[in-house]
Chains A and B, each alone.
Chain A
Amino acid sequence: MRRKSPPPMAMKKPLLTRKHNTVQQFAQLVQLLSNSTKTNEKLDALSQYFATAPDKDKTWVLALFSGRRPKRTVNSTQLKNWCIQATGLPEWLFNECYLTVGDLAETIALLLPPHTHPASFPLYHWLQQLQQLEKATEAEKQAFILQAWDALDDSERFVFNKLITGGFRIGVSQKMMVNALAKTYDIPAATLSHMISGNWDPAQVTIEALLHQSTSGADASRPYPFYLAYALEDTPAGLGPIEAWQAEWKWDGIRGQIIKREGQLFVWSRGEELITDKFPEFTPLTGSLPDGTVIDGEILTYANGSPLPFQTLQTRIGRKNVTRKQLQEAPVAFLSYDLLEWEGADIREKPLIERRSILTQLIDLQQQPALLLSPEVNAASWDELALIREGARAQISEGLMLKKKSAPYQVGRKRGDWWKWKIDPYTIDAVMIYAQKGHGRRSNLYTDYTFAVKDGDQLVPFTKAYSGLTDKEIAEVDNWIKRHSLEKFGPVRTVEPKLVFEIAFEGIAASNRHKSGVALRFPRINRWRQDKPVSEINTLDDLKTLLRQSGSPEDKV
């Protein structure tokens, strides 16, 4: 449409003015962060927020987005019940809504009638009020929540409910938040990351106090950028003589750096997160490692000379406090790959063979149970190495790493000197028997499926799997499920056993917690076998054969 002159309105300021200094500003931030798929946009929004929000709100946002949850004074069941009372909806209908929306805080925000007594307060006001409910009676709590709901608009209600239910899953990593703060306050990211680590209470600490501590400790913590490998697509024969290469098992844990400087120990993950507090196993290294040492390696759960399955490591991450039980059941060790700093000097330019020799001596002398050397795998030829690689699964490893002995330690993902040579996954053709809705961006779509193999004329469920399908396939499968499910209500749909999928997985172990007697590692949908009838899927015997062949110890999963 073309007009002679643009109407003046087109140039005007936005009609709706943003309410600054209120929880609305935070609600808008959350909305933008959860909608945006662009890292730069998110970073700008965060940095803008930190530049303009009230100081007291900033500390809270920092706490919320770094997993420092405020104490829970109201629980999800209470919220749900009060919403049901306020709306007069039957409980089953509330549950249906929740299944579609996939998030309790949002479900409630959408169901409540429009507010009648709007009021604007900053974020910290609501958080303080919530904290003060700790010793309140149930009736007092309910009265406060109803009053708050009636004061907030839909988007504010959503974040308010989220403050209670916890977990803003909006794709903001610790790293992104650190970068945003670094931008706003003009402090190097590595320094900042250290400043906001550890234990602090957002209700007590001001943002100034957090960000104006002595920076010397922070500098001491600074990690080196990790060198990352590409996957080897061909055979390694193209890499030249095997003598020029060092092979190691490829471990499947958390890539990390252990830093000892100025009498302090720091453990970093590859995501630039300081995770020293999560692994008390490394505390003795503070005393034993010499100052000016940086080691690159993998954090694994490890016992009796061999790694434990990755699932056990998962019990250790994502938790603030480690229990004694976890320490016993899932002890960790650091399998060292490389030495980056020695006697205070950056030695990354030295060839691997030299770095490795210092590293080997260092670890030998340390005699620390939690600090090990990731062993070299020796072979006389590429063919022999290929044979050894076939046994990777028995080592709880994903394959081999190939590193050029003469190469320096580079920055980031680079081709040429380092390669990962993974083993092919196992595959099984199976039929879908149950479906469940996903979460987040996949709420209301059936994306989580349970698969079965044949056992005589029975179908035996053996794994759940999701991902691996394209959005278009997911939509197609979802549509099919909606038309072929046997239940109308509730979260799990039993479907006609018709759709066949190829399931890939990295490992298999015996398990008495599963009906099929096996548990899989990293099961995922490889592809939809529209060409395959159900009569041709794999059998339980096929799975048991894989189990025997894998040589995996009993009950490791």
Chain B
Amino acid sequence: MELLQFTDKGIWCAAGDFYIDPWKPVQRAVITHAHSDHARWGHQSYLSEHAGIPLLKLRLGADIHIQGVAYGENIFLNGVKLSLHPAGHMIGSAQVRVEYNGEVWVASGDYKLEADGISVPFEPVRCHTFITESTFGLPVYRWEPQQQLFSRITNWIYENQQAGKASVITAYSLGKAQRLLYHLQDKVSRIMGHGAITNVNELLLSQGYPLPTLERVTPDIPKAAFKNAVIIAPPSADDSAWMRRFTPYSLGVCSGWMQVRGHMRRRNADAGFALSDHADWNGLLQAVTATGASKVYATHGFSSVFARYLGEKGIDAQEVTTAYGDEETIINPET
């Protein structure tokens, strides 16, 4: 029997009797990170990296039964050795390493290779079998270095200020928004946020992360205050009455999907920035190579394309259907 199996509840380790990011309620869930498609309600017990606990509690409720482990710390479940390793996707995000009878599997969760400044950077883990995400598993997705990207964003903000407009940026509230705040904090004078963003920010500030304090947008803030300001909003606030109060404003969307013009136009954004917390095509290939794995399973995204390409490169690869979505996708509204 395979060490990890793909079942209708999620990725299951029979020997250790636990699931990784299950999408149906189970006894024991090992969670790679706090995004809603990976961390779901209703499990009896949760296990995650220490840094992920406050975020999971914010999302799933303070009363969940959760155990924290540090990156690299080994724990044993029914004789199966389990450890978590940095995935660089967001705060507390981890790859799950599972070892039993000398066989090693790694489930990547979501990951990116570039260090974002706030989360612990990705570390490759050697294994025999690698279960990788492939959200952006198509060679048209090649991210520009973030320094370059952030200077384009800053530049766009300055141009808006010169035109007397507010700069409204949509970014996923967990992960992307903090990355933006971290990189923009010294460049602009006034940053405000939607409640969904300020909630997370306050929590992370209390945990000591190097983030700026963030002014919350409330109904009593005079309209004049928005002029020249930067406002960070979750994608769901797009085109809402909430957003119209900033008029005149320019709307910038931060998402890996913005790499393709058609997507940008569909969002009715004034500017699109391909900022992603997922690995790009080269990042995925680099990560797969670094594991030394002889067998690869590709999950969410362009999994069939990615698996076929790996196959042609001589790696035994297969796509697997999971219920993981993608927190960046335009289709799934943020939950």
Contact = CB atoms under 8 A, between A and B. Distances in A.
Given A16-B151, A443-B260, A35 B270 contact: yes
A440 B188 CA distance: 34
Given A14-B158, A475-B331, A103 B262 contact: yes
A92 B309 CA distance: 10
A111 interface: yes
B233 interface: no
Contact of A1 (B142, B215, B271, B330): B215
Interface in B128-166: 138-140, 142, 151-152, 154-155, 158-159, 161
Given A10-B161, A478-B331, A100 B138 contact: yes
Contact of A93 (B139, B155, B159, B266): B139
B154 A3 contact: no
3 smallest CB-CB distances across A and B, nearest first, come from: A6-B189, A443-B262, A441-B265
Interface string A5-39: 01101111111100000000000000000111100
A1 B213 contact: yes
B215 A2 contact: yes
Contact of A37 (B259, B260, B268, B302): B268
A14 B159 contact: yes
Given A35-B269, A97-B140, A9 B187 contact: yes
A97 to B, nearest CB: 5
Interface string A79-110: 00000000101101100110011110011001
26 contacts: A1-B191, A1-B192, A1-B212, A1-B213, A1-B214, A2-B215, A6-B190, A12-B158, A16-B155, A34-B261, A35-B269, A36-B270, A37-B268, A90-B309, A97-B140, A101-B140, A102-B260, A110-B140, A110-B259, A441-B265, A444-B260, A444-B263, A445-B266, A475-B331, A479-B331, A488-B304
B157 to A, nearest CB: 8
B158 A7 contact: no
A13 B215 contact: no
Interface in A163-196: none
A68 interface: no
Nearest to A94: B139
Contact of B139 (A15, A111, A478, A479): A111
B312 interface: yes
B243 to A, nearest CB: 15
A476 B269 CA distance: 21
Contacts of B187: 7, 9-10
A198 B330 CA distance: 44
A489 interface: yes
B306 to A, nearest CB: 10
A97 B214 CA distance: 39
Given A93-B305, A441-B266, A478-B331, 19 more contacts: A1-B192, A7-B186, A10-B158, A10-B161, A10-B187, A10-B189, A11-B161, A14-B159, A34-B265, A96-B138, A97-B138, A100-B260, A101-B260, A107-B140, A444-B263, A445-B266, A471-B266, A475-B330, A479-B332
A478 B304 CA distance: 17
A442 interface: yes
B147 to A, nearest CB: 12
B283 interface: no
A7 B154 CA distance: 13
B260 to A, nearest CB: 5
B119 to A, nearest CB: 21
A479 B271 CA distance: 25
A35 B158 contact: no
Interface in A427-447: 439-445
B272 interface: yes
Interface residues of B, number: 46
A111 B142 CA distance: 8
A2 B186 CA distance: 12
Contacts of B188: 10
> Interface residues of A toward B: which range?
35 or more
A464 to B, nearest CB: 20
A1 to B, nearest CB: 4
A329 to B, nearest CB: 35
B185 interface: yes
A440 B305 CA distance: 22
Nearest to A36: B270
B272 to A, nearest CB: 7
Nearest to B332: A479
Contact of B266 (A11, A13, A442): A442
Interface in B273-313: 302, 304-305, 308-309, 312
Interface of B: 138-140, 142, 151-152, 154-155, 158-159, 161, 185-192, 212-215, 228, 259-266, 268-272, 302, 304-305, 308-309, 312, 330-332
Interface of A: 1-3, 6-7, 9-16, 34-37, 87, 89-90, 92-93, 96-97, 100-103, 106-107, 110-111, 439-445, 471, 475-476, 478-479, 488-489
A472 B305 CA distance: 26
Nearest to B267: A441
A7 B331 contact: no
Nearest to B184: A1
Residue among B192, B266, B269, B330 facing the most chain A CB atoms (10 A cut-off): B266
A405 to B, nearest CB: 45
A10 B215 CA distance: 18
Nearest to B259: A110
Contacts of B185: 1
Contacts of B161: 10-11
A90 B312 contact: yes
Given A2-B215, A37-B268, A100-B140, A106 B190 contact: no
A441 B266 CA distance: 5
B309 to A, nearest CB: 6
Nearest to B185: A1
Nearest to B156: A14
B189 A3 contact: yes
A101 B138 CA distance: 11
Nearest to A154: B144
Contacts of A102: 260, 262
B266 to A, nearest CB: 4
Contacts of A444: 260, 262-263
Contacts of A12: 158
Given A1-B191, A37-B268, A111-B139, A101 B262 contact: yes
A12 to B, nearest CB: 7
A172 to B, nearest CB: 14
Contacts of B186: 7
A313 B309 CA distance: 46
Contact of B190 (A1, A11, A100): A1
B53 to A, nearest CB: 26
Residue among B188, B189, B269 facing the most chain A CB atoms (10 A cut-off): B189
Residue among A96, A106, A445 facing the most chain B CB atoms (10 A cut-off): A96
A37 B155 CA distance: 21
B189 A106 contact: no
Residue among B155, B262, B272 facing the most chain A CB atoms (10 A cut-off): B262
B269 to A, nearest CB: 7
B93 to A, nearest CB: 25
A15 B155 contact: yes
B298 to A, nearest CB: 12
Contact of B262 (A7, A90, A440, A488): A440
Contacts of B332: 479
